[in-house]
A and B are shown apart, each in its own frame.
Chain A
Amino acid sequence: MIWLTLGLMTLIIFISRYLFLEPKLPLKLNKSTLQFLSYAAPAVLTAIIAPLVFVKEHALYISIHNSYLVGAIIACLLAYFTRNTLLTVVVSMGIFFFIL
């Protein structure tokens, strides 16, 4: 059952990644669509992590005791002022795991 689950998940995920890379698929993207798609990375990445940071058990959790939120704010400040990916992730994770 686990192998079947893994196999079908692999199939679904691969198709979603590959589908529009297939040249035989008849699809022309106009300029507006391409502009719309240029926002995909910031929009999707934000939508993945925002609930992790702001929500706990389906309730808004804005508090100094929410270590995910405090850690995320520290990461934002580090990313903004240093513009260094490695430094941002290493320092913010260090603070999160050892202090918060």
Chain B
Amino acid sequence: MSTLTQPETYVAQSNHKSFWQGVIATLPLCIAVIPWGILAGSYAIEVGLTSLESQAMSAIVFAGAAQLVALGMIKAGIGLTSILLTTLLITSRHLLYSMALRKDISPLPLKWRLSLGFLLTDELFAIVTTRKTPNKQHTFDRWYALGGGLSFYVFWNIATLIGIIAGQAIPNMEEWGLDFAIASTFIALIIPMIKAKSILVCVLVSLVGSVVCSVLNIEAGLLISALIGMACGTLYAQMTGEAS
């Protein structure tokens, strides 16, 4: 909130700097998402989309997990309604992100809300909520978020383009294990987040929950296990009086 109360002159001077700080903070994730973007592009070609459709998917849908799952369903000949319901389940986690960022983003002008809303990926949420500032206080900065979100968008689309080109030359790239990139990236994000026992509890419960749901083939497993994990973390913190 501090940017809203700072004098305009100071804000104007620091916008540029904040933007590039956001870009730099997101760079490791941009590099890490390349294999996943290549997978999204090459798999779209494999499934039978045209180059333009494949690129548009990354440019307008801009949601890795939902894109890959939808492509798998298109390939299997599953109908539009099922694809959209599955998309809704996979993307429902973004409701949690937008709720968590409501206090920071909802007071901003419409163009900021729309842009940051469109760019609100798992990676951007992680970047803005774990930002390290010299005074160790969490402060939301719109320019920092925009820098992070835009650079991630550009890298995701370039990687998709590489995938589209490679996918036309090399068949079955989806069997290479490019999706390991997402496991590796998220682990690199999650481990430093575990700064309190309640967060460890949350992570372990979410882990076991999602694995159980996956084995039982429960479609809403992601949402169910994340919510249970969050509830367990909150309960643990409240019962042990852990400082938040």
Binding site for B on A (CB under 8 A): 1-10, 12-14, 16-23, 27, 29, 32-55, 58-60, 67-68, 71-72, 75-76, 78-80, 83, 85-86, 88-90, 92-93, 96-97
A21 touches B117 (CB 8 A): yes
Residue in A35, A44, A60, A96 whose beta carbon sits within 8 Å of that of B211 in the complex = A60
Question: 8 A-B contacts, Cβ less than 8 Å apart?
Answer: A16-B98, A39-B234, A40-B93, A43-B203, A52-B180, A55-B214, A68-B183, A79-B190
B225 touches A42 (CB 8 A): no
Question: Given A21-B102, A45-B186, is A40 in contact with B96 using a C-beta cutoff of 8 Å?
Answer: yes
CB-based nearest A residue for B236: A39
- Chain B residue numbers with a CB within 8 Å of A96 are 177, 180, 184
- Chain B residue numbers with a CB within 8 Å of A19 are 95, 98
A36 touches B230 (CB 8 A): yes
Q: With an 8 A cutoff between CB atoms, is B168 at the interface?
A: no
CB-based nearest A residue for B130: A41
Number of A-B contacts (CB under 8 A): 275
A17 touches B94 (CB 8 A): yes
User: Complex formed: what's the CA distance from A90 to B180 in Å?
Assistant: 12
Question: Given A54-B211, A71-B183, A88-B188, is A16 in contact with B95 using a C-beta cutoff of 8 Å?
Answer: yes
A21 touches B106 (CB 8 A): yes
Residues 141-197 (chain B) with a chain A CB within 8 angstroms: 176-177, 179-194
CB-based nearest B residue for A78: B188
Q: With an 8 A cutoff between CB atoms, is B83 at the interface?
A: yes
Q: What class of interface size applies to chain B in its complex with A? A: 35 or more
Q: With an 8 A cutoff between CB atoms, is B103 at the interface?
A: yes
B184 touches A89 (CB 8 A): yes
- Chain A residue numbers with a CB within 8 Å of B177 are 67-68, 96-97
Shortest CB distance B93–A (Å): 5
B98 touches A43 (CB 8 A): no
Question: Chain A interface mostly helix, strand, loop or mixed?
Answer: helix
User: Complex formed: what's the CA distance from A53 to B114 in Å?
Assistant: 34
Shortest CB distance A99–B (Å): 12
- Chain A residue numbers with a CB within 8 Å of B189 are 41, 45, 85
Most chain B C-beta atoms within 10 Å of own C-beta, residue among A52, A75, A85: A85
B98 touches A18 (CB 8 A): yes
Most chain B C-beta atoms within 10 Å of own C-beta, residue among A2, A12, A21, A54: A21
Most chain B C-beta atoms within 10 Å of own C-beta, residue among A29, A41, A49, A72: A41
User: Complex formed: what's the CA distance from A13 to B65 in Å?
Assistant: 11
A93 touches B98 (CB 8 A): no
Residue in B31, B63, B185, B209 whose beta carbon sits within 8 Å of that of A13 in the complex = B63
A9 touches B84 (CB 8 A): yes
- Chain B residue numbers with a CB within 8 Å of A45 are 122, 126, 186, 189-190
Q: With an 8 A cutoff between CB atoms, is B13 at the interface?
A: no
Residue in A18, A33, A47, A68 whose beta carbon sits within 8 Å of that of B221 in the complex = A47
Residue in B31, B83, B113, B230 whose beta carbon sits within 8 Å of that of A43 in the complex = B230
Residue in B63, B107, B180, B226 whose beta carbon sits within 8 Å of that of A23 in the complex = B107
- Chain A residue numbers with a CB within 8 Å of B94 are 13, 16-17
- Chain B residue numbers with a CB within 8 Å of A17 are 91, 94, 97-98, 117-118, 120
